[in-house]
Amino acid sequence: MPAKHRHLLDRDGRFFARIVIPKDLRPFLDNKHELREPLGPDRRTAIARLATAVAGLQARIAVAERKARLAKGEAVRPGRYLLPVNEIVLRRYNDQLAFDSEIRNSDARYANMEPDDSLIPVYRDGIAGKLSDESLRMLLGDVIERYRGLGNTTAEFGTTEWRTLAQALCVAELEILGRVMERHEGDFTGKPEHPVLVKAIESDPVAAEVSESEYNRLTFSEIIEEQERVTKMGLGGFEKSEATLKKYRQTVYDFERFRRSKYAATVTLEEGEAWRNAMLAEGKLSRKTIRDKLASIRAILAWGQKQCRGKLFPNTPSKTPFEFLEMPNAEVKDSAERTYSLKDARHFLEFARTATRASFRWIPWIIAHTGARVNEITPLEKRDVFEVEGHWFIHIRVGGGRTTKTRKARKIPVHKALVAEGFLDWVKSQPDGRLFPGHKDQDNNLREWIHEKVFPGRNDLPPPNHGFRHLFEDALFADVSHKAALYITGRSSGSSADDYGGSDLRLIEIAKQMEKVRDIL
């Protein structure tokens, strides 16, 4: 008779990890009665993966517990992700090994530096118990604090538990020093020899499987590049704009610096929580910005998991560690804070009249009287400004490197203020092609010009995208139909009717609606 394993469920030859959700936590887990994680049809493989799968399910339970406690106004328990000492030692060893690879692959000077072998006898003394608590704290105190911050241990300095962990971590440091020396000689086959690490690896077959995975060396940058490639082929979702990819890469850089690794397969939920908490504690970023950063990493990990067909995180093939990460609530700001006042908007437009650069002269006027975003206007070509039965329009296109937030093109009536300002005459005088050459840099150039010239010394103003867009949307309250307002500003109503029409007749009717919108000056 096969041995029974707690949390292992067999359903018609398919195995699952299962945990029953406590009744009081069910409202925080979509009112489910239990959590399951598929482990496949092979019993031996399922048993090997059971512990890690259960740990993932317990992490979800822990998130629900935190939500329940916060809802009751109770304090959150520390050390919720406690790990045995040998698992912490194994994690430290693997993290440092990955860090060595990262530096070795990025800078040749590292491999030409002699390792500090003077620490070998120090680590050996630590393992043997010859070092005082204070000496151990100077040696590894910061490391232990990091694992305390991740919730992996509650060991406090001066306790037997703390000293035991510090001595065990000396094993990881000594083994890593050995691997570094071997790698300096070109030998990358070295394995841990100390019984603490050997036993930790043997007792965690899933960790051994992941460490030898073909995807263990996959970096965040490689995942983003592959996503770019497949989306350009029309696969893997919609193609991301250059600005979005640039934002993703900056976020990845910040996360990699925090966790000291660029390899996606080693990401853990605890690292995500520690990064989130560090950003919140620092207080330099808004909760919305922090939420966006975490969401970016979650999206990239999901791309990687899909690209690897579920093998990047083989124990949760349909999920990534960040799926269980609790996001901070974004602050709700007064829309007036993101809108130019009439006084500031008028000053801006009057100042733009003095500009000699075409983008500075006309982009503020266009976005102020169309509600368009700056990056929708910078790639405009002369052919995008056209006439239908006496009404002029600006064609915001999609494709060929151009995009919109809804990924749909639209044709915006040219406002009477733009006509009076001479915009159409200026367009007619331009050669065919782009109206604003160098459009990829225009957004940053415009921001710099605003801060240095238009509003010098002012740090209380929103960016022009929001400042003029919100002001224009307020102007649409002048009895403009709701459908016309959504179309002009490029917002989706969520209705299939968004994709209907597009005929000249609709454009003429929308132009009539635009005539109701007042001038800003």
pLDDT in tens, 19-31: 999 888 888 888 8
pLDDT band at 261 (very low <50, low <70, confident <90, very high): confident
**Is the pLDDT at 477 greater than 80, yes or no?**
yes
User: Looking at the domain assignment, is residue 502 inside a domain?
Assistant: yes
Q: Mark which of 160, 192, 211 sits at the end of a domain.
A: 211
Q: Closest by alpha carbon to 179, among 164, 167, 197, 166?
A: 197
Sequence letter at residue 407: R
Q: How many residues are listed for the chain in this entry?
A: 521
Q: Which of 277, 258, 270 is nearest to 220 (CA)?
A: 258
- Whether 329 is in a domain gets the answer no
Q: Which residue range is the domain that position 504 belongs to?
A: 335-514
Give the tens place of pLDDT for each residue, 342-393. Answer: 899 899 999 999 999 999 999 999 999 998 888 889 899 999 999 999 999 9
Among 150, 177, 211, the domain boundary falls at 211
Residue 327 sits at the vertex; the CA angle it makes with 325 and 331, to the nearest 5 degrees, is 175
281 and 201 in a common domain: no
Q: What is the pLDDT of residue 403?
A: 77
Which tokens sit at 138?
């100077």
| pLDDT tens digits, 114-129 | 878 888 999 999 999 9
23, exposed or middle or buried, with CB in 10 Å at 0-12, 13-18, 19+? exposed
Same domain, 311 and 429: no
Asked if residue 2 belongs to a domain, the reply is: no
Residues 248 and 378 in one domain: no
Q: Could you tell me if 313 and 436 lie in one domain?
A: no
Q: 183 and 118, same structural domain?
A: yes
- Do 273 and 175 have their domain in common? no
- Token pair in block for residue 273: 């929580």
Single residue among 17, 50, 72 that ends a domain in this structure? 72
3 within domain boundaries = no
Residue 1 in any domain: the answer is no
pTM of the model: 0.51
**83-87, 164-168, 183-187: lowest mean pLDDT where?**
183-187
Question: 12: which 2 tokens?
Answer: 């018609």
CA torsion sign, 504 to 509 to 515 to 520? negative
The answer to whether position 191 is within a domain reads yes
pLDDT at site 211: 46
Pair 54, 97 in one domain:
no
Single-letter residue type at 238: F
- Is 302 in the same domain as 348? no
Residue 520 covered by a domain:
no
Instruction: Examine the domain organization and report whether 224 and 201 are in the same domain.
Output: no
Number of domains in the chain: 4
Identify the weakest region by mean pLDDT among 56-60, 87-91, 196-200, 381-385. Answer: 56-60
- Chain centre distance of CA 58: 24
Q: Verify that 367 and 484 share a domain, yes or no.
A: yes
What are all long-range contacts of 358-362, with beta carbons under 8 Å and residues at least 24 apart? Answer: 358/426, 358/435, 358/436, 359/436, 359/439, 359/442, 359/445, 359/446, 360/446, 360/449, 362/423, 362/426, 362/435, 362/436
Question: Do 300 and 349 share a domain, yes or no?
Answer: no
User: For residue 372, what is the domain's CATH number?
Assistant: 1.10.443.10
**Residue 80: inside a domain:** no
Are 245 and 274 members of one domain? Answer: yes
